[in-house]
Each structure stands twice: as structure tokens, then as C-alpha cells.
Copies of this chain bind each other. A is one copy, B any other.
Amino acid sequence: MAATQEDVTLLGVVGSPFVCRVQIALKLKGIECKFLEENLANKSDLLLKSNPVYKKVPVFIHNEKPIAESLVIVEYIDETWKNNPILPSDPYQRSFARFWSKFIDDKIVGASWKSVFTVDEKEREKNVEESLEALQFLENELQDKRFFGGDEFGFVDIAGVFIAFSIPIFQEVAGLQLFTSEKFPKLFKWSQELINHPVVKDVLPPREPLFAFFKSLYESLSASK
């Protein structure tokens, strides 16, 4: 299958770790893709039509067929282009990958966001606790592996870009110690391996504009307390 002959479009915004997941998967497969930058304050008709349920990015459109939800998209890409597999072939290892990537979305994404961007102090503290507890589960699970699947990065690592790239920005914005090398030495080492991997490094957006954006969001929330 010649990737360049395919009609492959990604609706996204620069800086979203969920969009990055799809971009990493595409890069890994060597798929050229048209990137359509969305303005989330004024979403395109294409986005609203392609993801009527959530109206969110990323949306991946392959030969006019839209797919939403970043992990669903990554599995689709892995099943459509077979080179450089993202999920392992063994069913038990696949279930491991699905379990932990779902865990990141269910237990870490929301809680770590709310650890920083929640006005209510009690609610914020509850989310810090939940984030730390969830990160500890990942720390224990990682053990001394380089990546979650072993020597090469895969599905859980791609899901984990949120932890390796976004949480450090969030916590610096708020002066919070959530994900540090002292608290989670193995997970921190993994995060450095991940963001310095050539495929990931190539896809991650510049840190500074994102930091400035979230700093400004944090300050406006703090001012409204």
C-alpha cells in the first residue's frame, strides 16, 4: 500500500498531546498526512460533521472516512498500515497495552489537569492525591523496562506522551511537584527516553508557547478565585 496515494487528513491543534499521539503513530508508520489546524473557538464544519458526538480533535480522516478518539485512531492506524507495529501481536500483551493506555486516560489525564486548573482548593487537593496514586501504579508497572512494552516504544508509551510532555508543563505553571524524578524515578527516566526518542521529538511542539498559554490560563483562573 503506497502511503502517498492515500487521502489522509488529520484535524488537530498544535500542542494537544492527544493529537500528538496520532502524529507519532503516523510518523512511526511513515505516513504522509495533511494537517488541518482547527480553531477551537470556531470549529470547522468538517470537524463538526466528522465528530458530531464530541466535536473534539483529533479527528483522522482516511479516504473520507472519519475516526475520532485518539487511542481508537492509533489502533486503526496500526491495523491499516502493518509496518512498525505499535501494539504487540500476542493477545495478552495487547490486553496489557489496552488496559494501561485506558488507565492513563481514565485516571491520569483528568486528575492531573484538575490538579492544576481547578479553582476549588479541596477539589484540587483531591485530584493531586489521585494523580499521585495513579502515577505510582504506572511506576510500579514499568519496573526496569525502557518502555512499557519493552525495548521499543508502543501503544502505552504513545498514550503516555500526556505524562511525559504535558504534565511537566502543567506542574511548572502552578509551581506544583506532581511528577518528579524524586517521586517517580523509573517513570521519570522513561519520560526522558520517550520525549527524546527521534520519532517523538520530531512531533512534539515547541514547549515555550504552550507554557506561556497554560501560564496565562492558570493566572486567569487564580485571579478568579
Contacts and interface: CB of A to CB of B under 8 A. Distances in A.
Nearest to A63: B92
Contact of A95 (B67, B95, B98): B67
A155 to B, nearest CB: 12
A9 to B, nearest CB: 15
Contacts of A69: 98-99, 102
| Chain A interface residue bracket vs B | 20 to 34
B92 A67 contact: yes
A73 B53 contact: no
Contact of A94 (B52, B79, B95): B79
A36 B103 CA distance: 25
Contacts of A73: 95
B53 A79 contact: no
Contacts of A98: 69, 72, 75
A128 to B, nearest CB: 19
A62 B93 CA distance: 13
A158 to B, nearest CB: 16
A68 interface: yes
Given A53-B137, A67-B92, A67-B95, 12 more contacts: A52-B137, A62-B92, A67-B99, A69-B98, A72-B99, A73-B95, A75-B98, A76-B91, A76-B92, A76-B94, A79-B91, A79-B94
In order of increasing CB-CB distance, the 8 nearest A-B pairs are: A79-B91, A76-B95, A80-B91, A72-B98, A67-B95, A72-B99, A72-B95, A76-B91
